[in-house]
Chains A and B, each alone.
Chain A
Amino acid sequence: MSAVSAIARRELRAYFVTPVAYVFMVIFLVMAGVLTFYTGDFYDRGLADLQPFFDMHPWLYLVLVPAVTMSMWAEERSSGTLELLFSLPVSISQAVLGKFLAAWGFIGICLMLTFPLWITVNYLGEPDNGVVMAGYIGSWLMAGAFLAIGACMSTATRSQVIAFVLTSSLCFVLILIGQPQVLDFFQDSLPPKLIGAMGQLSIVRHANAIARGVLDLRDLIYFGAMIVAWLGAAVLVLDLKRTR
């Protein structure tokens, strides 16, 4: 476990060594603010909650998470440092987990930096802070799922651009799959049970369920399974590459 935390700490520190992390954070904060206030109509709707803020997160992560993960393994592979990593006394799964936790921690820091919005909503009215807290938890879990997908995609290709596109596409599918318009589209061609199952796979549905203020075991299992499955796949893909 200490190997995992050592890797995670090293990777997290590495984020802040280059200006890329700061640029990313600035973009994240500006985009979150703009989407919340303008697209989500936060101020004019006059309700003391952060729903417009959290509603925008899937779309924000759709662009920003692949940007974080695209270089996670693809760069190691293209620059040849992957072999060096394998020669170190850490297992593949420890390396995968360490890098993932660093990225998740980084997104967590970005999320925490949106605290002025939480202060804003408390200044304007009397929000249910339990619901706000749940919104942050749901958002962070969703980011974790997207990061795990990104990590896996990054192991599958040498090209960062391809990793970015693959991650974005998969995340986009997970966002779309639960949208009523999409379910409606398949209404006539697929049996209702399959449509229901499709809805269960929707990441937005599970994040929204948490953002209402309820931590349901089903939603936590969904995100847990998502992260474990994609990271597990990433480990297998890396192992496969090493075997070759």
Chain B
Amino acid sequence: MKRPSFSLSRANVLRLGVVAIAVLFLAVIGLSSMSLRTARVDLTEDRIYTLTPGTQSIVDGLGRPLTLTLYFSDHATRELPQLRSYEQRVQEMLREIAVRAHGRIRFRVIDPVPYSDDEDAAESYGLTPAAGGSNGERVFFGLVGTTGAPDTPVSQSIPFFDPAREAFVEYDIAKLLYELAAPRKPKVGVLSSLPVTGNMVIGEQPWTVMRQLEQLADVTNLAPEGLTHIDPSMNALLLIHPKKLPEDAQYAIDQYVLHGGHLVVFVDPDAEMDTSPLIDSNGTVDDHDSDIRRLFEAWGIVYDPTKVVLDRSQALTIDLNGNTVPHPAMLGLSAQDLNHDDVVTASLQRINVSTAGFFELAPETKARMLPLVQTSDEAMVVPAQGVRDAAGDPSTLLASYEPSHDRFVLAARVRDTFHSAFPERKDAGHLGVAAAPGEVIVVADTDLLTDRLWIDVQPLLGQQQLTPFANNGDLIANIVDNLGGSTALLSIRGRANLQRPFTRVRALQAAADRKFLVKKGELENELYDAQRRLAELQPTKGASTPTTLSAQQRREVEQYLQRKLAIGKELRDVQHQLNAEIDALGLRLKFINIILVPALVAILGLIFGWRRTHRVRREM
């Protein structure tokens, strides 16, 4: 029998080896992509691809299985690279969450192509498509979470992942998970001395804020009299306009906060909806202000109920006897006055307040204050009585206006490991110091809760049509949403803004813009002067026609038109010159990176080559 030669079989073995390598390679890639999903090192500065402990604890606490479905219009977003890269981040985060959940979360991605069942399903879950996809297609980019039995599923959704909320994407997803896992509404208590719930006897409706709150949470109204204990299972407590609160009620609030309760306090130096008489039958003067001095002192908060903040640059105009006048105590605070790094105020555009006070931190406190709403730096502080006196003509407040160049904090989070304001009490369960760091939200205005500052109510077909013109209602909803969730949810903060612009170029651009505006102003003044001279030369209005112009007038008109053209050109030149600085920087950087460095490498190569040749020649 002829045996095959060794070399032939070895060659075949080697060929087989190449095939085996290919198979093994594919198997390794396939297996690793299917099974390995947790081992990773996040090199980003803000650890944006790493779940925060808050999200992890929410995921770990999931009691029942749920499904997360990401609807993303893959085809329609081919020309939207920024949205696609954001989607990649969202998907990564969802995958990470699914892996963390150890099988309790099923994650899938669906591309809802137009006219498909998937598209119908996405819309039925309340996802809102955006316009602007390729070929005019609608872009779906939302998340649906479902849980429960197939016949009675519970679902929650994020209608659209807005890139403007990129810093809060983890918070939004964790909130969805939390709400799916605990579908009960949060319990919220309200302790108010203002008629927030209306008066059914005289047909007064509850304030819109309260009606909105009823939809968001299980609301319990508390009375200050006889209040000695606040149920710690209450997710949040809203304290509105606290006036002369009994000590027991204050102690109950104190202990609620120390036991980890979430408190929101609305105080006001001048609550315009306070219906109590200014001077009561006993002759006691009531300035319609509110305060919880003892508690504020214990928490390190400084607040003066006799002071109101004015801000002429943010003043709202009011109608006074048919005239519109600015009211420097009624403020329309825009996006730049709201904290964009806080989940509560990040996406709000406008908050209106009226006769608001302000907060500061006591010098010796360890508490931290995170402003939510601030004035501009043109604000000043005046006595509340002065504002009340100027009610007839608020513009008189501007007569002696002196901006303080400080930004006053109108609403803030205050964080600390709080100490009790009642260290002397020894009630059962008394805490002298909170076991863990906590926070309270303080707002120095109660009028922002009233309809007149944020909502237009129009009757429409027997129904009330509500049209908000400010985000006051959203602010309260966000606060309750934020505080009503778990502590883990509260700990998930927005990450730093991910967009990192060229700060140096922006600074150059801003300086150029400023220079341009100054120059533009100068030239426009010059043009205005020329125009005025021209007008002075015209004897009577309507009498001058081109044919009746004197020689001097014609010369002036000619000069004016020429100057106008010249100024237009000058402005273009100025703009060009200012941009030249930015262009020159770009050119310098291009030169360094494209020419200088390679040239240095080439020179280095030549030197080495020359030395080498020289050495070889010498050795020969």
Contact = CB atoms under 8 A, between A and B. Distances in A.
A176 to B, nearest CB: 16
Contacts of A44: 586
A218 B21 CA distance: 19
A216 B14 contact: no
A29 B601 contact: yes
B594 A47 contact: no
A240 interface: yes
A120 to B, nearest CB: 5
Q: Which of B7, B589, B602 has the most CB of A within 10 A?
A: B589
B78 interface: yes
Contacts of B597: 29, 33, 113, 116
Interface SS majority for chain A: helix
B42 A213 contact: yes
Contacts of A116: 592-593, 596-597
B543 interface: no
A111 interface: no
B593 A120 contact: yes
Contacts of A49: 500
Interface stretch (B28-36, B327-335, B399-407): B28-36
Interface stretch (B142-150, B359-367, B381-389, B501-509): B501-509
Interface in A115-136: 116-117, 120, 123-131, 133-134
Interface stretch (B44-52, B280-288, B350-358, B523-531): B44-52
Interface stretch (B260-268, B294-302, B462-470, B604-612): B604-612
A240 to B, nearest CB: 5
Contacts of A36: 593
Given A29-B594, A131-B44, A213-B49, 16 more contacts: A37-B593, A43-B586, A49-B500, A125-B505, A128-B45, A130-B43, A131-B45, A184-B75, A214-B43, A218-B32, A221-B36, A236-B18, A237-B18, A240-B15, A243-B10, A244-B11
Interface of B: 7, 10-11, 14-15, 17-18, 21-22, 24-25, 28-30, 32-33, 36-37, 39-46, 48-49, 74-75, 78, 88-89, 92, 499-506, 586, 589-590, 592-598, 601-602, 604-606, 608-609, 612
Interface of A: 16-17, 19, 21-23, 25-26, 29-30, 33-34, 36-37, 43-44, 46-49, 113, 116-117, 120, 123-131, 133-134, 180, 184, 197, 200-201, 212-218, 221-222, 225-226, 229, 232-233, 236-237, 239-240, 243-244
24 contacts: A22-B606, A25-B598, A29-B598, A33-B594, A47-B500, A48-B500, A49-B500, A113-B601, A124-B502, A124-B505, A125-B504, A128-B45, A134-B43, A180-B78, A201-B29, A213-B43, A213-B44, A214-B42, A217-B36, A218-B32, A222-B29, A229-B22, A236-B17, A243-B14
